[in-house]
Structure formats: structure tokens, C-alpha cells
Amino acid sequence: MVNPPVVVTIAGSDSGGAAGIAADLTTFAALGVHGACVVTAVTAQDTTGVRAVHPVPLEVVAAQLDAVLEDLDPIAVKTGMLAGPDVVRLVARRCAGRILVVDPVLVATSGAVLGSAAVAAAYREHLLPVATVATPNEDEFEALGRPSGANVLVTRGGDIETDNDHGTGCTHSSALASYLALGDDLATAAARADAFVARQLHVSRNWTLGRGRGPVAHVHTSVPPTQGVPA
Ligand SMILES: Nc1ncnc2c1ncn2[C@@H]1O[C@H](COP(=O)(O)OP(=O)(O)OP(=O)(O)O)[C@@H](O)[C@H]1O
Ligand SMILES: Cc1ncc(COP(=O)(O)O)c(N)n1
């Protein structure tokens, strides 16, 4: 029997099911890797915004991470909302040396601030130096002090016209981690992750879920054959 690669997401939950852990695990499932998850924060969130954030205590984050690293030995790690500078430092210490995709979640699509200046400083000092690739959006790139390097891919939206873009950053970085775990080089994985998100945005472009910016489709694939992801 051939096992699927194991990828772990370290991120917050989104009660609306669009971003964070929900986006990550469904994207992993869509792309054929086994997803494990370390929850860093619980957010009360929907398509209109973030109502409340409850960070998980550092020792509980560390216990989840230890459990996954010791038992499942993931080939790749994807980070999303890390909620505090101490969590950023923990992840840098424990995950250096693996395929490490860092989506430095600091500002949500809705504009909600999900990471403080201290979190941004910890990313700069501890996590970016050990990342395989980092995927800040333009606001996050600025908040991080415009980090340089071939492994910083600034994400910039794209051509699909839709209001249903909640979760695109999480879906994109999870797809990137999945393709790297499946053996792609960085350039190929990045191209496939872009194509995957574009296809998924196309699938959900006319959905009317919620009253705000709806979720990008993570696993639904009803799409014209011409919009397929490259093999
Ligand atoms: N309208 C779109 N059409 C096609 N592709 C898109 C579109 N919006 C987003 N993408 C894809 O998703 C990626 C991530 O999008 P974006 O930068 O908007 O995410 P974000 O939610 O701001 O990111 P973060 O999680 O870092 O906060 C883009 O690089 C692109 O590949
Ligand atoms: C728990 C959590 N993690 C990440 C994001 C960012 O996602 P997006 O930028 O697509 O809104 C979010 N809104 N909530």
C-alpha cells in the first residue's frame, strides 16, 4: 500500500468554513495528501468579517505540534494565522528543516487584523529565514518590512471576477504545500497552486453563500473541462 504524503497546517479556525483550518484541510483532501492540523486560535467569523478571536494557549499549540511531528512525521508544514509571537518562534524552532510554506496571515481579506506588529517582527526574525517559501499578500508584505529573497512570493489576486474570495490565500498556500509534498519543484508547485485557486474561484464565482464575501470552493469541481488544472 502506498501512503499519501502527510502535510500539517498550523492555523486558526474560521467558523464560516472559508479560510484557516477549514480551507487547508479541504484543499489537502482535494489534492490527495493527508492533512493534519494544529489549531492556534478559534475565530468567530463569517462572510462579513471577524467577530472574535480566542488564541489557544502556547502549551496546547505545542502539544498538538509534538503529537503530529512525533507520530506522523509530516513531509511538509503550512502555516496560517499564528496568533502570537511565541507561537511563531515555536513553529520556527520545531519545523525548520521540513518543507515549510509560510502564509504570514496578518490582515484578512475583510481587513481584520489577525497578527500584531510583534507577530510581524517574529516572522521576520525567526520564521521567514527557515521557510521554503512565504506567501504574503501586498499588505502583509508591507507589514513585514518588504522582505527580499527568491522564496518570497507576493500574492496579488487575479483575473477571475467574483466577490467569493474569502479563503483564497489559505487555499493557495495549502495547494502550494500539497504540490511541494507531492514532489514538485517550487516553480511548478507555484504555477499549479495559482491554476488550482483560479479554477476553484471559477467554480464558486456565482455562489450566494452568506451576506458578505463568500467562500472560494475548496473541493467542488463542477467546471468546464477547458478550465482544468494542468496534469
Ligand atoms: N480573482 C482571482 N482570480 C484568479 N486567481 C486569484 C484571484 N484572487 C486570488 N487568486 C489566487 O489566489 C492567490 C492568493 O490570493 P490573495 O493574494 O488575494 O490572497 P489573500 O487572501 O489576500 O492572502 P493571505 O492568506 O496571505 O491573507 C493569488 O496569488 C492568486 O493565485
Ligand atoms: C482563521 C483565519 N485564517 C486566515 C484568514 C485569512 O484568509 P483570507 O485572507 O482569505 O480572508 C482568515 N480570515 N481567518
Domain ranges of the chain: 6-227
Instruction: Identify the band that residue 112 occupies on the pLDDT scale cut at 50, 70 and 90.
Output: confident
Determine whether the shortest distance from the Cβ of 79 to ligand 1 is under 6 A.
no
Ligand 2 pocket test, pick from 106, 110, 114 with the greatest ligand atom count within 8 Å of Cβ, gives 114
pLDDT of residue 223: 56
Checking if the pLDDT of 111 tops 90, the result is: no
User: Can you name the residues that pair with 42 across neighbouring β-strands?
Assistant: 13, 54
The residue-averaged pLDDT of 138-161 equals 92
pLDDT of residue 108: 77
Determine whether the shortest distance from the Cβ of 140 to ligand 2 is under 6 A.
no
Q: Where are the beta strands (DSSP E) in 63-198?
A: 76-79, 99-102, 133-134
CATH superfamily of 6-227: Ribokinase (3.40.1190.20)
Checking if the pLDDT of 226 tops 70, the result is: no
Determine whether the shortest distance from the Cβ of 137 to ligand 1 is under 6 A.
yes
Give the count of beta carbons closer than 10 Å to the beta carbon of residue 199: 17
Q: How far is the CA of 25 from the centre of ligand 2 (A)?
A: 14
